[in-house]
Amino acid sequence: MVGFGPVLGHFNHDELAAEQMMLIGTMFSWMAYALWKRPKSMSRLAFIFYVSLLFGFISAYMALDTANKVRAFTTYKGFPGGPDAWLRSKRYSDVFCIAGNVCVVCSIWLSDGFLLYRAVKVYTTRQWILLVPCLLYVASVVTGGLYLSEQVDSNTVTWETLSFAVPYFICASLCNLSTIFTIAARLLWFRHLVRRVVGPEKKEHGELYKSAFTIFVESAALYAVFSIVFIVSYAMRSAVEKLVVAPLANVRGIASFLILLRLVKRAIVNETSACKKALERLSTSDTGNTSSSVDLPDKENESLALVEQAIIHLEDDPYLNAGYGSNLTLDGIVECDASLCVARPLQSGDVSQNLLFGSVGAVSGIKNPILAARCVLEYSENSDKLGRILPMTLVSSGAVNFVQKYGKNVSLVPTEDMVSLAAERTWKKWKDRLENETVDRDPDANTDEKDQENLVQDTVGAIAWHPQGGFAAGVSSGGILLKFPGRIGEAAVFGAGCWAQHCSESLGGMACSVSGTGEEIVRANLARNIGNAHLQSTDPHEVLRKILVEQFWQPAKTRGVHDPAAGVVMMTKETDEVTDSTIKARVWCGFTAASMAIAFASGRDPRPKVLKFDCMMRTE
């Protein structure tokens, strides 16, 4: 939307108004979409009311400004001094001009307030930095109020000698510029932290803040550019001022609108884009170059390497609950669990003979916990010179000390470097509620807000099969928000979070990865029981249904768990063992949670396919 210049004679008022309303309607349709999809950090009704006022004032100003410009350049084109002189002469007397000025001032107040709210959400700590923008906002409100008084006071002679128009627009512009600068600085610092943790070579991670364009949009710098041009051109008394001042209010609204669209995009794509990117990285990476501490043939490690590398990419994504960006404990630190399970092709009829497992639990300061799990898995296959049984699970500082000594490519980082801004903000919000508010034990209370918070509980997992490497499965998790330090979830427990096996029947084997309500998954030993049930059935769909309902959902509900959540992704291999001519690998999934996102690819079709499933109805 741009400022309006002279109107050509063959365009009438009705046509211009119709086009303007069409643009406004388009903007409102996008806004309705943004309001519905935006992650809720304030109540829905309050946010809808505020944003509706903001865009209502902007739209009203656009309509009134159109009407005024049409009259100036058509009906009063012959006014002495031209259309601009007519507009100036009617500034205090024409109701449309006064109403337009009131709308633009109110829209500026609301948009600057929205931007300050954005800054407050970005600065979860050190909010004293926002003191200058807040003071300038107060100054813009005061001078704006005085400017509006000029519009309604009939004694125009008084205000012609003392005008607050210029002080108001300068205060408003400086408020906007200072807020934009503080937001941009914070986003640049966030980008620095992401690159320091995951490395500058992995540019796909944290990509929402890697480009200048992203920071330009999210800090509303578009309006800042117009503000600077306006201030400079006004000080130089340049004609450019007339060109810039017309679309200034519209640009301010557009800047806020772009921020909302950015938030919408982030909420929509994060659940599935990370899965797809992980597979895309695998299609171009060398999976044979892994963190293996034991010299084994590459093909024998192929499926394990695929799972490991996929989970590494998922752990590096700050919007998933694994590795960097995970949920924080009560103490405000990241503690992660991870495990790997691999079942290589059988040399005999024993199903469990070639099962390998390794896991770590409650580890802090390990950049990729899945690498630590791989290290434990492979070390457990060595022989101890004293005949000791080597561990397959290590936790806390013991696991960290272990990988320091035996992990070739396991990176250790300061614990604070694993904390993302989003995780810190969520932790602070719910920690304050835990300490300061009365706990509502009604399980049906505030379900909207609870469901929204569950969007950050995205435990990650992967499964793979290779003819030489067999089946492999893995899972990695940051655990539940505000968990007790040292808590171990299903991602570190043998048979709970992941499982892989071969069998000698016509059903060639399976691998599965599980996430959800950790304690209930551990009670049900869910992944292993799915594998056991698969040995007795030729219908994977029925296996998932029976185990999730009869061995997970119903027992958990009996114990009083309000909403037991679990998600399973499973791969099966169907072969003709007589001819060995047909090999089919199939992917299955089942879940009791609100939604589940998966991605899959194969050697025949390496292009990643992404699916997100929503649970339409769950029965008791």
Q: Where are the domains of the chain?
A: 13-266, 298-614
pLDDT of residue 173: 79
Domain 298-614: give its CATH superfamily: (Glycosyl)asparaginase (3.60.20.30)
Q: Is the dihedral of CA 466, 468, 470, 475 positive or negative?
A: negative
pLDDT of residue 581: 60
Alpha-carbon distance of 172 to 185, in angstroms, equals: 20
Q: Is the dihedral of CA 145, 147, 152, 155 positive or negative?
A: positive
> In this structure, what token pair is assigned to residue 604?
């025949």
Return the bridge partners of 358, or none. 340
pLDDT of residue 153: 63
What are the start-end ranges of the H helices in 335-438?
369-379, 396-406, 421-436
Whose CA is closest to 63, among 94, 98, 21? 21
pLDDT of residue 463: 95
Tokens 């304030």 correspond to what residue? 42
pLDDT of residue 462: 94
pLDDT of residue 596: 84
DSSP single-letter state for residue 326: P
Segment (H or E) for 595? strand 595-600
What are the start-end ranges of the H helices in 285-361?
302-316
DSSP single-letter state for residue 293: S
CA 261 to chain centre: 13
pLDDT of residue 182: 84
Q: How far is CA 102 from CA 92, 97, 151, in A?
A: 12, 9, 8
Whose CA is closest to 555, among 576, 525, 579? 525
> What DSSP assignment string belongs to 145-161?
HHHHHHHH-S-HHHHHH
CA 70 to chain centre: 45
Alpha-carbon distance of 31 to 303, in angstroms, equals: 45
Beta strands per DSSP E along 319-416:
336-343, 355-363, 393-395
pLDDT of residue 212: 62
DSSP single-letter state for residue 411: -
Q: Mean pLDDT of residues grouped by 10 in the chain (620 residues)?
A: 38 50 47 43 64 81 80 80 77 78 85 83 78 91 85 54 73 82 78 64 49 62 74 75 69 70 52 61 52 44 89 87 92 96 68 79 96 95 90 96 91 91 86 75 47 58 87 95 94 96 69 94 96 89 93 93 91 68 80 84 78 59
Q: What angle do CA 308, 380, 366 make, to 5 degrees?
A: 45
